[in-house]
Structure 1
Amino acid sequence: MGSEAGIVRKPRFLGLHGFRTSGAILEKQIEIKWPKSVLEKIDIVYPDAPFPARGKSHVQRIFHPPYYEWFQFQISKDLTTYTNFDECLAYIENIIIKQGPFDGLLGFSQGALLSGGLPGLQAKGVALTKVAMVKYLIIIGGAKFKSKSLAEKAYSSPIQCPSVHFLGEKDFLKPYGLELLESYVDPVVIHHPQGHTIPRFNEKGLEMMLSFLGRIEKDILSENKE
């Protein structure tokens, strides 16, 4: 028992992939781009979204199908409506129940949209009501919900959980990622020169990411001692 007491488990994250990609694709993207020094400090579970892609995937020239989407959306002049969103939330909650617990959520693109809004929805009691509170977030290429009814619930109060946000200089979602930051208390922001992609780390970004993961490790260690 004594030797086990000194072992700190790795932080576990639920990884939510981008629109019309898959869990396997996100896993490949991260394993190719992120160094061993980061990967060895985190466990990530990569499920597929619940709905088969209903159109072409932007990654089809690079990655083989199948492709999936978390939910669908329609954009009119001044209104964005989401379809199958409640089913998506129930699906994610079921994954957490069956494969959790998780310390946090990692999301890219549509997965980042979900990850960035779920803590606020959970705090309001409208999502993930059967599982523990989301503690940490890793947001890559994120944005706010465009559905007014969802946004009012998700961002009405400051989101307290520690978070790291990747913002790409050439990412078409960068303005929306900056807008998302305004809803967070003391977010860690890692800038990179790339577009809407899983980025590689420069020296400063790597240092910030390792520091963020180290913070989670300390929290887990303190929880074990209680």
Structure 2
Amino acid sequence: MEIQIQRKPRFLCLHGFRTSADILEKQLRRWPEVVLGRLDLVFLDAPYPSRGKSDVEGFYDPPYYEWFQFSQDYAEFYNFEECLAFIEEYMVKHGPFDGLLGFSQGAILSAALPGMQKHGVALTKVSKIKFVIILAGGKFGGCLFGMPKLASNAFSSPVKCPSLHIIGEADFLKEPGTELLEAFEEPFVIHHPKGHTIARLDEKGLKTMLSFIEKIEKIQLQQE
């Protein structure tokens, strides 16, 4: 009797501002194997070397990278289109990917990309993003961040792909991250007491995480 082994949901993981793929991978090891063992995670360094001091200096070794640059008031963005092209090129060469996982700057990108893909302004050469995991993210065009021109319609209608959002109570992005929830249909949400970091999962958070994984596994099984 032939036993079919289900493929794990495959996520492209986008790290935070002025950190790296290696740092994000180390940070995610705070999650238990019961979570990490059910996901296929691929980590990518952003295209631009850090242009200033990194907040993780002294905690994690360089090099550090950034996805795009922005003005001090978060109103203007630079190298945004080039960043999207860089991500798409990687996905074409190393895909397919089922979803995106992002932390901080990588989470802000990950949250906007499904809507941008839907409107045909990003990721037009790759398969549809089916799932997103948003860690300490925020919303373009929201209470803190301006709106890059290419992302102007990213949240013009509810984002329907299943999403998991992890929000820190002491995070400076708590309000933008909470605001982002309104842009997604039926988001899964985990709250933790810490700041701008990837926290360990408590019992309640782990239960929510496993429920999300179960949902995306079922969707993937139906589609394959």
Q: Is the 8 A contact 1:168 1:174 kept in 2?
A: yes
Deviations 1:138-183 (A, max 9, x none): 0000001223335531111111100000011000100000111111
Q: Is the 8 A contact 1:144 1:151 kept in 2?
A: no
Relative distance call for 1:216 and 1:188 in structure 2 (3 A) is same
The one of 6, 9, 14 equivalent to 1:8 is 6
CA distance in 1, matches of 2:175, 2:146: 17
Deviations 1:127-147 (A, max 9, x none): 111111110000000001223
More helix by share: 1
1:158 aligns to what SS in structure 2? Answer: coil
CA distance in 2, matches of 1:10, 1:95: 20
- The answer for the alignment partner of 2:72 in structure 1 is 75
- Opposite residue 174 of structure 1, the aligned amino acid is K
- Aligned pairs (5 A) from 1:198-209: 198-209=198-209
CA distance in 1, matches of 2:121, 2:98: 20
- The answer for the alignment partner of 1:144 in structure 2 is 139
- The answer for the alignment partner of 1:177 in structure 2 is 177
CA distance in 2, matches of 1:125, 1:221: 26
CA distance in 1, matches of 2:127, 2:151: 22
Number of residue pairs the alignment of both structures matches: 219
Name stretches of at least 5 consecutive residues in structure 1 with no aligned partner.
none
- The answer for the alignment partner of 2:101 in structure 1 is 106
1:216 aligns to what SS in structure 2? Answer: helix
Q: Is the 8 A contact 2:81 2:150 kept in 1?
A: no
- Opposite residue 72 of structure 2, the aligned amino acid is I
- Aligned pairs (5 A) from 1:156-167: 156-167=156-167
- The answer for the alignment partner of 1:43 in structure 2 is 40
Q: Output the TM-score relative to the length of structure 2.
A: 0.94
- The answer for the alignment partner of 1:30 in structure 2 is 28
Structure 1 position 92 matched with structure 2 position 65: no
2:223 aligns to what SS in structure 1? Answer: helix
Name stretches of at least 5 consecutive residues in structure 2 with no aligned partner.
none
TM-fit CA distance, 1:220: 2.1
TM-fit CA distance, 1:223: 2.4
Q: Output the TM-score relative to the length of structure 1.
A: 0.93
- The answer for the alignment partner of 1:116 in structure 2 is 111
% identical aligned pairs: 59
CA distance in 2, matches of 1:223, 1:131: 16
- The answer for the alignment partner of 1:129 in structure 2 is 124
TM-fit CA distance, 1:55: 0.5
Q: Is the 8 A contact 1:136 1:161 kept in 2?
A: yes
2:71 aligns to what SS in structure 1? Answer: strand
CA distance in 2, matches of 1:169, 1:43: 28
Q: Is the 8 A contact 2:121 2:150 kept in 1?
A: no
| Deviating 4+ runs (over 6 angstroms) | none
